[in-house]
Every structure is written in structure tokens, then in C-alpha cells.
Structure 1
């Protein structure tokens, strides 16, 4: 079955039509030979008589079967393949250690002593290490970021990641049919997608999308968008997805504690992924997208305002992370799981989950919700690395041990919260460790402002290895850390 699906995906529509007519001709000749044969040992006499007297009906059924087969082959979704991806790693002089952070905060003289102490406590408990990366203005004497700093931060990450992924896949920029760029908090004009179109001289026919304001889930949402477009078209296409965040203009200079947290956990990061619906490139692809699910819980006021951009009492702009963010994330994840579980879990887990839900319903919703064991459905999980509290909350809710949450915890330590690109830094961790094997299933889970929960389910098509541009190269031997 697996071989037949692979073979069908390699055939063009004309070749499929030719093969279908050949099958029909073979069936017709076989039926004629059977009906003309004098040997009727294996056929019931009444059935043989019926077939002989209703040949037109039999041939009509064969033709209908052929048409149905062609319609299925023509309308079935095309495979969505991840050819490769790349993660941006800034130069070593951009590393943002605790010492760099403290020095920047003090020399800027824009924070009160109380705020300095608060940020110090948050940083020391955040799970971030001393090798995360900060935007350029942190290392300059101009303490307030300008537009040029934000553009520099976004453009250098995007161009480096796109250059790397195009080089690894041997796909020229002119072959890109679809460009999706997502950056949650920075929306210049012209857009970031236009910046890339201009830089790479993409063709006039390229379709571009620029996503913003979707928070840390926008990377998964962008992949989902690309997958929907690729699977729904009969034309072979290439989609370039660029996932970045520019935190320069979103550094908060004030004394609101809920806004100061973002200064402590968000860091620089960018990823680029090249996808295609060309079945002929399956052997060159790393993974195939099996499922994508996005749930939006913004109808609830608490969910909508859990992470909110606003001005403080003095007019300073910042991102406020409310105290009930963890609770909102947990409720959103529970609702998300109820939809995702039937699509991915094995039958044994589905039966247990259904029994648990029925039991809760009979008790009028009282009692704990049964949480299925998702480790039976996936060999690997890339969990949202929004922060130490988020990782621990997801682990507690889904009953995941340290082995499962290891990539998320180590990714937070090494790179910090890189927002929407964090899932691919986790994927790079799996590859650097050599843990991925062909046929494994991998789950990417991300949360975003609004409040959104997004899932991507992949099937790996080849064993993993250490790429030359893997961001963990040179430091993977130090991970996982014993203490975090």
C-alpha cells in the first residue's frame, strides 16, 4: 500500500489517465475471456448467464468505476512535503548573557531600582542561559531602538535563513510560487514579504502573504496556510515560509511588572522552511505534513486579553502578560486536545478517552478530564517554549516526563523564547541528537495571542543528521543539562 501511494504520487495526470485506460482495457479483455470460455468450473451458472445477458450493464459499471477512479485521483489532496528548513544563528558577539542584560538595564537608566530587581528575579528563574541572542541596539550606545534597528534585526535573520534553505534544497529563488512571512509584532511598510521579493528578485507572479499579530503560534499557522494552498492545487508549486520576530521596537521601558516579563524571556530567532506539493521530490524531502489544526479561543474575554499590547499609565507601550495566562493556556489546550485526539490517537487510547469523557458527562462535568497518552501517537514532540512556567504547565496537564519536554527546556535555555520560530529550533535539536528515524511521527504544538492553539503533525521521511548549518552544532554535546 505504501509503495502504491508513492508510485501514484510520482505519476503525472496524463500518466494516470493512460494507466487507467490500460487497466480498463485489461479488465474488459479479461471479462471477455471469462465469458467466452467454455470452462465454468469456478463460476455460478446463474451468474454467468446474468453477465452474458447484461453485458452493457457490466461495461457501464466498469466505465463508472473508471470515472470515479479518475475523479478521486484528480481531486484528492496533494502531499505537502517539507523539503528542508533553516534556523538563523546570529554572530557570537550578539550573545546576551545575564551580565550583558544587567549592564544594559543599568546603563540605560530608564528603569527604577524596583524594576531592576524584579527583572533580575524573573531572569534568574526564567530557564534562559547565557548564550541567547539579543537585537543589535542592545549593544549600541543608543538606548532606544529605532526603526532601522528593527528592520536590521528582521532582515538579517530572514535573508540568512532563506539563503540557507535555498542552498540546501537546490531550488532557485525564481521557482518560488508562494511566499508567506510571519512576524508577530513588527509590520513595516512595505511589508517584510515585499522586502524579500525585492531582495531575491522574485517573479511577478509570486503570491505573497504577510501575517502579523498572531504571537508565538504564527509559525505553525503559516505552515498550515501553506499546506492548505499546496494540497488544494493540481499545479506543482513551491512555498517558502519565513518565520521571524523583531523585538527591537517592543522592548519595554517602564515599571509595569506584567510588561517587564517580556524583556526577560524574548530573544532573537528566525526560521525558513521550503515546502512543495511535488510528489516526485518525496525522496529529497525531510517530512510530510499529515494534519494541521488551529483553534481560536478569543471569544472568551480572559483568553483574548491574556497577552495584550497596550500602554501603561505613563504611556509606554508594551506587551502585558496577565497572571491567568497559564490557566488560559491550559484551558485552550484541553479544548484543542478534544478535537485533535480523534485524528491522531490509536484506537486503544481513543476508547479510554471516550470512556473518560462519557464518565465526566454522566457526572455533570465533575471530576478530572482524562488526558490521553499522546506518546503512543508520536515519537517526538516539539512543545511551545513560551517560558519555564508554560513548559511545566503543559507537562503537568499532559503528564509528560522530562524526557519528552527535554527539547523544549533545552531550547529555552539555549535560545530563549524566539516566538513563532521556536518550533524549528526544537526540531533542529532532535536532528542534532540524531533521534529522528524514517517513519516517525512528530507533533509541533504552539500557543499564540488571541488566544490560539496550533498543532502540526508530521511524518518523517528520512533519518536525521547534523546539518552544517544546524544552530546546535558546536554545543549539542553540552545538552541536556542536568540542572535547569
Structure 2
């Protein structure tokens, strides 16, 4: 406690000297400055009062400035082996589904084969339930999505992730001050955050937040939300962020093609993270959150309806992914990076970008177009939204990214599928699984898209060299990646 006070006094004294010198040298010709300088140099009481005010100002700044926010650690849920949802298993389930017509099955088969998903992804529990033990029954009557199976899917992912996280961070559940849970398409009552409080016997004064309906961007947005809570707090706090999605109740068995797509690309996943503003945990933290940005483009009708939950003409509920989704993602990404770029890019890139904008404005008839900033000059690593093969390719085109930069997104889509809100953390785990890939001081960009239409970005700075944790979901397969053909 004594050392910070001494540092504060030293800084205050040096600042006072500098301020006095500045007054004397730069504005000494004004009458007011001469009077102030005279009072400071000839009146001891005024000098003491001025010094006291300076000290109070520094003290106030020191204790009210926003806290630095760190990611202490995270985990990604890896379902058991018997939940692997290969093409063969997926086709077998679909063929036995009495609600799906042949045209819908053919369409889903074509989408799956072009999706970029491999045979190692994981499906929800209801797909693997036995049908009364009757293997000769070709009609799937028991393997249907229910509230019970949705709860099972959520509980398995949430509890497994939190157990692993608490185990490796050695964080006492009683020291958790904030709980934020995001699950876009499943909002039971009591909420999932209440489920966590009950399961881990958290304190009665814990602050809980339950987010829903925010789509694949909600993982990024929930981290941003946690950071805002921690920065605004006047005391040291720890926040538990749980990022999950239950795809069970969004399984679609109608004939609307835009809704059938979700059956093909969405898979089971969950992530949990401990965020903290405690400076004592600085050395243990993996990363520091240095920038975050959220943009909402719901004022545009095409953006709002690009991905939307609705009923088809027969009353079947599903998530409709329209043909306009990829275009909307590209347009809104451009709007998003216009705001993000000045905050993160080096000065040379910003200068070149502004120059190209001016030239294209002055000479509108010319073929000269504004340059696309090179974001690889700002970030060593990128976790790009793995919403699907077309989305990754669109982001790559807009930002002019190489295959090496988008490798993590492509491989994550192949290995785990679209796990919705938790997907960027599976990409993060991919980087960590490659020994020596991430170094202390490296910057990482996470970007994700969500329904509404939302775009979210997180910029992290690594506080230490990355390590391959024992629970990394890539541990048993990283030697097979990257794939040569995707």
C-alpha cells in the first residue's frame, strides 16, 4: 500500500513541476498566467493548496479509471465419442424420419456434402436415442426433439465446461461475482444462469444475466458485456461467462429449404470462460481484452430478416437462413470495419486508406476504388466466424485474407461444425493446440455475426505464450490438420 502512495506522490510532484514550467515558457505573456505563476512561486499556502488539488485529482483518477480486464482461462466442451455425428449417422437418422419427404432429404444431402463439415462433429442427444430397441423399425418415432432432450443437451455442455474450467483455474465458486449465460435458441424457466447458481451453490448476492436470441454473435457479445460490467465495477470481481446453444428444439422437419440448411451445419458445442479485473491474477491470465466493438444493423429489413426464427406454411418452426445472408454479412462487415479500423490499424494503413477514400471521392468516374486495409498488420491471429463455408469465403473476399489466415475457421468448421455462439473459442483452441503458434504480446481478433443483424469484434493481447491445455478439444486430432483439401 505504501509503494503506490509513494509513486503517486512522485508523479504528482513531477506533474506539478512540468505544469509550472509549461505555464512559464508557453503562456507566460498572458496576464492570468503571470498571476498564477507569481502565486505559485511566492505564496506557500497557495502552492500547498495547488499541490493538494493535484494529488486529489491523481488519487481520484487512480481509483476511478476503468479496470483492465483479463481472460483468466476458458474451456471448450467436447462431447463423448458416441455422440459423433458422421455423414452416415446423419443420413441414417434423416432417412428414418417420418416427417421428411424425399425432396427434402435430397436437398439436405447436397447441402451437407458441400458444407465443409467432416465426420467428427457432434450431434444432439435425441439423434442417438434408441427406438424401443427395435433395429428393424424404419420409422423413427422416438428419436424426436423434446424439452427433456434439449435440457439434457444444455446441461451436458454447461456442466462439463464449467467443471473443467474451475478445475484448471482453481477458482472457488464462492469467489464468482457475476454469471453471464448466452443461449440463442433455448430459454427455459428457471433460466440457465439459475441452473448454474443451483448446481455450484453460488453466493446469494451473485449477479446473473441470461441472454438469448442473439445468434452466433452472442459469444463475442457476452464477453464484451462481461468486460463492461467488470470495467464499471468499483471493486475486484470475477465473471463466469458460459456460451452455449441448444440445437435440439430448432431441429426442422418441414419442407422449407432455407430452414432445412440449419439441420445440416449446426452441431453441439459449448464454451466457458473466467473473466476478471483482479490485478493480482495478471500473471495467470491468458489474454487481456484491449478493444471490443458491437454494431447493430437491424434498421435494414434485409439484414433483420437474413436469419430469423419463424413458422413455415404448415406451422413447423425453424431458423430460416435466407439466400441473402451471405450478401448481408459482407455489407455489414464493411460497415463494421469502418469503425474498427481506426482503432486497431497502424498509422500507415490508416493513412493509405484515407488517401484512397479521398481519391475515389474526387475522381468518381475513375476505376480507382478505396483500398481494403490489411488487418494482418494489426493482428497476428484471427478467429473468424465459422457460420458456414460461404460465410468464411465471403469474409475472406471482403478483407482479402489468405488461406493461411482463414485456416483456423475452415478447420474448426470441418472438425466441430457450426457450434453457433461458442465457435470462436474452438478456433482459439485450434491456435493453442499448435505448439509455439501464439506468442506473448501477439494480438488476436475474434469476429462473429448474429441474427438481427449484429457484428461483434474482440481484440485480445496475449499475456503469455500459449499452452496446450490437457482439456483442449483438438488434442487428439491436431496432427491431422490442416487438411489439404477443404
Q: Same fold (TM over 0.5)?
A: yes
CA contact (8 A) 2:236 2:278 kept: yes
**Structure 2: distance between partners of 1:408 and 1:370:** 24
**Structure 2: distance between partners of 1:22 and 1:443:** 38
Distance 1:280 1:255, change over 3 A: same
Aligned pairs for 1:36-435 within 5 A: 52-140=41-129, 141=131, 142-363=142-363, 368-434=369-435, 435=437
**Structure 2: distance between partners of 1:394 and 1:157:** 29
Instruction: Report what 1:453 is aligned to.
Output: 455
Query: TM-score, structure 2 length as denominator?
Result: 0.90
Out of 9, 20, 27, which is 2:8 matched to?
Answer: 20
**Structure 1: distance between partners of 2:108 and 2:76:** 28
Which secondary structure does the structure 1 equivalent of 2:241 belong to?
A: strand
**Structure 1: distance between partners of 2:320 and 2:398:** 24
Unaligned runs of 5+ in 2: 18-35, 132-141
**Structure 2: distance between partners of 1:356 and 1:25:** 46
Deviation at 1:114, TM superposition (A): 0.9
Q: Deviations over 1:149-195 (max 9, x none)?
A: 00000011000000111111110111110000000000011111111
**Structure 2: distance between partners of 1:224 and 1:361:** 35
Instruction: Report what 1:4 is aligned to.
Output: none
Whether 1:462 aligns to 2:470 is no
Deviation at 1:291, TM superposition (A): 0.6
Q: Deviations over 1:103-130 (max 9, x none)?
A: 0000112211111111110000000000
**Structure 2: distance between partners of 1:213 and 1:289:** 25
Unaligned runs of 5+ in 1: 1-11, 30-46
Deviation at 1:26, TM superposition (A): 9.8
Which secondary structure does the structure 1 equivalent of 2:445 belong to?
A: strand
Distance 1:207 1:363, change over 3 A: farther
Distance 1:197 1:27, change over 3 A: closer
CA contact (8 A) 1:441 1:459 kept: yes
Per mean C-alpha deviation after superposition, the further-off stretch among 433-442 and 62-71 is: 62-71
Deviation at 1:367, TM superposition (A): 6.0
Q: Deviations over 1:21-47 (max 9, x none)?
A: 476689999xxxxxxxxxxxxxxxxx9
**Structure 1: distance between partners of 2:311 and 2:37:** 83
**Structure 1: distance between partners of 2:375 and 2:123:** 35
Over the aligned positions, Cα root-mean-square deviation in angstroms equals 2.1
CA contact (8 A) 2:214 2:452 kept: yes
**Structure 2: distance between partners of 1:136 and 1:155:** 11
**Structure 2: distance between partners of 1:199 and 1:310:** 33
**Structure 1: distance between partners of 2:104 and 2:430:** 34
The number of residues matched between the two structures is: 455
**Structure 2: distance between partners of 1:27 and 1:231:** 26
**Structure 2: distance between partners of 1:25 and 1:383:** 48
**Structure 2: distance between partners of 1:173 and 1:475:** 32
